[in-house]
Chain A
């Protein structure tokens, strides 16, 4: 497997009235193409900050971050946006679909903004997530689980290299969560997309090929799951 990204000694400090807070404190790891990584950790451990740095939503205070052997831009909003547009897919906890657009149009919009409009692929993706019958419905007309599946289709519609998700099943019940994760895993495999998800739900570990545990801004364990990798 080829190396997709590498973070070395990443630090992210925040200044607060109570003093400096080290949200990330010397995080170092690599992610290979095709991996499905889950970041686990208690509240305030730094997992969301790490996800934000991975997606170039946030800029590390120190350390290096290479993505396919290229330095990831930092402290430049437009360059960071451009990096996300070209490389990153993102799934939110609350789906964040645009209410005024239909299911299909939500996907077409992202393709259009990325300059890769392809209605045929959008429909195929909806078929992949099992929503081919819902393409002309508005998000308000479908269930939460279905909305999250649309969000997954939307996030991979522009062929991202890396798919990120923050508590993406946090707003769903267990059964729906499992369905969503199954769809996600299947989509990632089919589209050959590497993924990193933040969660506190240990139950989702079975969908990952690797689990990184974080606490107090440091990686406390990094474990590949052999049986999953065999898949």
Chain B
């Protein structure tokens, strides 16, 4: 008996093939997304581990950097410092040991690159890495890199990020410069460096467009050859400590840096005893490392809510579709019950069918999930430019995703069947179970409207639970889609807008301290306007949590009408010759630090304590920044300028002469392109999720529309028999869809805004503040999109109306 009943059920369900496939599809999508994102998140976790590892295969990222970019230390000074540190270490209570203390030169420079467009002056950074270096080595992963490290004085390794853009290959000769010197080097390797996953110049997190910023790794002899300094001359000391001492993550409330603080204390003692001035940074304070850690963490973190969102949408759709599928069986269940079939015999099929339906969807999802994960990892790998070598999906990911999906499928299939089996067969067979009384409230609200419009509205809200669930699902779908769009638009408007509208320079020329003379001469001889600025990431302050926060110091001559105008949101711009130095701070810093305009604070500037008065707040800046009048900052730092803004007359371009007298040149257009490119990249990382969100919006809306129309077959058939034209009924459906679209759109925009605020909060940290502004065009775009999807469903309803077999329907009506 049961076997026949199950065959009957299978055949009966097969009659609703489209709905059946829709359920299997949603189960598949849910499991596929769960495994894709679960595996993606899991493998991202180990992404940098292989690169930073202190073993033969890794590059051994240093634990601490001691540097001073405005001077160099002789080999003796470095050795003396390292000896002093070792001595201090031995007599301290620090339990871990110092693995290595190595001097390096890391210098800004230029690359003279010729291509079809002539010679380009490319802003660059050169590392001098000894052949026997222990920490911060070049990473040459097997199969994902080429060549070897530089050993000879004329050899160089280029970072893999720029190879394609510059069209370079092993054996090529490249001409590079640093300050006043230039030299030719042979390319012997193409690899990666743990400090340059983010290919952005120091002080910015925006990488210029690929090929507009170059990082190269020379040997120590190569660096001596380039700079003309004595071998072993350094401006950076890299320290590697046994294991990885815990350091503070700037984006967390807790302070995790006690272990490294004890070591930093030893470093400060040693610096004092050897009379060296230097900045000391751990991994959390080394911006490129920290930004990428946060980026990775953010990406990993967002996969969880994104997976949850996708799972919720899939669950809602599965619940709605499967319930509808089983509810449509109510009459057959009633007939069988009337014929005397036991409830338990009936239920076996209804328990088994969701398991079979879910099982097929889960199997497909589990089969294709790993492909989705690999696609996402490949995509992220392409964007970041670092190979993700180890890829595995833990069994726990499969088990969690499949078991939760199966539970949802089972409950949403078996529960309505159980409910249907408890219905009085007489009620079902007489159709009385479908009788209901309309809402008086709705009647009052819509009685003034044309009856067709009133009916449209009442029909739309006939199943409030389903409609609410649809709106929730649409809202979540649009949260996926719209929040990323909103966040990107906010970033675009804030950062690109300010660089485009408030800054008028064409090129920023970086110089060695007090080496502005030749650049100013170049500007004069080319009739270019110039403005000197000081810009150094040398400020720090201890916040209320006792955490050292590093910020950029910017010294300008003019805050308004200069080449870099600062938009003041509160207070005034600093004035000169005050007893206490006046400064302005960016909005993000003020919020993080809880400071107010008018307050006086003590900050550390290049290691020196300085009292300042905060007189104004500048508009949102990406980097935490304190603005000084250049004269004031120059007095504190003893430097006239670190770079010079140039406004170039028509026909004048940056040339090699300028390149040779500078340590790097950045064109504003390149910077803009770089920011746009980074924002595009960031958006692309989420684009898969965005489009998944859009797809879900379409599926959810379509699912609801199909159910709405299918459920109203009888009603629509009645109206057709009574002479209602397809056009008038189509208009009714259009009204309904429009109504659902408008409400869905409004809910979608609200969800998207909420999602954007949540995303921005999860990404925002001291280093990187993400502003969220509602850009009306994005909100309209979202609303319009949902309305369009809803309205686009009307033809389906009209098609169904046209193809309705009225004779069959009249038979149904008569039965």
Where the two chains meet, the residues of A that have a C-beta atom closer than 8 Å to any C-beta of B are: 48, 52, 55, 57-58, 77-78, 81-82, 84-86, 88-90, 92-94, 96, 98-102, 105, 108-110, 112-114, 117, 136, 138-141, 154-155, 158, 166-167, 170
Query: How many whole Å from B780's CB to the nearest CB in chain A?
Result: 32
Q: Are A81 and B810 in contact (CB under 8 A)?
A: no
Cβ contacts under 8 Å, A86 to chain B? 723
Q: Are A98 and B435 in contact (CB under 8 A)?
A: no
Interface status of B15 (Cβ within 8 A of chain A): no
Q: Are A113 and B813 in contact (CB under 8 A)?
A: no
| Interface size bracket, B side | 35 or more
Give per-residue flags for B443-477: 1 if the beta carbon is below 8 A from chain A beta carbons, else 0.
10001001110110011001000000000000000
Interface status of B714 (Cβ within 8 A of chain A): yes
CB-based nearest A residue for B431: A94
Cβ contacts under 8 Å, B87 to chain A? none
The answer for the CA separation of A203 and B30 in the assembled complex, in Å, is 61
What are 28 residue pairs bridging A and B, where the CB atoms are less than 8 Å apart in the complex? A57-B810, A77-B726, A77-B802, A78-B726, A81-B724, A82-B723, A84-B723, A89-B722, A92-B721, A92-B814, A94-B813, A96-B714, A99-B436, A99-B438, A101-B451, A101-B454, A101-B458, A102-B443, A105-B455, A109-B452, A110-B723, A113-B719, A113-B723, A138-B437, A140-B435, A140-B436, A166-B814, A167-B814
Cβ contacts under 8 Å, A109 to chain B? 451-452, 455, 719
The answer for the CA separation of A170 and B720 in the assembled complex, in Å, is 22
The answer for the CA separation of A7 and B728 in the assembled complex, in Å, is 31
CB-based nearest B residue for A109: B451
CB-based nearest A residue for B803: A77
Q: Are B438 and A90 in contact (CB under 8 A)?
A: no
CB-based nearest A residue for B802: A77
Query: How many whole Å from B94's CB to the nearest CB in chain A?
Result: 77
Cβ contacts under 8 Å, A85 to chain B? 722-725
Cβ contacts under 8 Å, A136 to chain B? 443
Q: A92-B814, A100-B462, A101-B454 are in contact. Are A57 and B724 (CB under 8 A)?
A: no
The answer for the CA separation of A55 and B12 in the assembled complex, in Å, is 32
Q: Among the listed B442, B725, B806, which residue makes an inter-chain contact with A57, where contact means beta carbons less than 8 Å apart?
A: B806
CB-based nearest A residue for B459: A100
Interface status of B807 (Cβ within 8 A of chain A): yes
Cβ contacts under 8 Å, A114 to chain B? 723
Q: Among the listed B454, B715, B814, which residue makes an inter-chain contact with A93, where contact means beta carbons less than 8 Å apart?
A: B814
Q: Are A52 and B723 in contact (CB under 8 A)?
A: no
Interface status of B718 (Cβ within 8 A of chain A): yes
Q: Among the listed A58, A84, A96, A141, which residue makes an inter-chain contact with B718, where contact means beta carbons less than 8 Å apart?
A: A96
The answer for the CA separation of A82 and B725 in the assembled complex, in Å, is 7
Q: Are A113 and B728 in contact (CB under 8 A)?
A: yes
Cβ contacts under 8 Å, A110 to chain B? 722-724
Query: How many whole Å from B300's CB to the nearest CB in chain A?
Result: 49
The answer for the CA separation of A141 and B442 in the assembled complex, in Å, is 16
The answer for the CA separation of A88 and B723 in the assembled complex, in Å, is 8
Cβ contacts under 8 Å, A55 to chain B? 721
Q: Are A81 and B458 in contact (CB under 8 A)?
A: no
The answer for the CA separation of A110 and B725 in the assembled complex, in Å, is 11
Q: Which 3 A-B pairs have the closest CB atoms?
A: A85-B723, A140-B437, A100-B458
Q: Are B435 and A81 in contact (CB under 8 A)?
A: no
Cβ contacts under 8 Å, B810 to chain A? 52, 57, 92, 166
CB-based nearest B residue for A114: B723
Cβ contacts under 8 Å, A92 to chain B? 718, 721, 810, 813-814
Centre residue among A86, A90, A113, A138 by max chain B CB count within 10 A: A113
Q: Are A105 and B725 in contact (CB under 8 A)?
A: no
Cβ contacts under 8 Å, B437 to chain A? 99, 138, 140-141
CB-based nearest A residue for B719: A113
The answer for the CA separation of A99 and B447 in the assembled complex, in Å, is 15
The answer for the CA separation of A105 and B459 in the assembled complex, in Å, is 14
The answer for the CA separation of A84 and B722 in the assembled complex, in Å, is 7
Beyond contacts A57-B721, A92-B718, A155-B722: 20 other A-B pairs, Cβ-Cβ < 8 A, are A57-B807, A77-B802, A78-B725, A81-B720, A81-B724, A85-B724, A90-B722, A92-B813, A94-B813, A98-B455, A100-B458, A109-B719, A113-B723, A113-B728, A139-B435, A140-B435, A140-B436, A140-B437, A167-B814, A170-B814
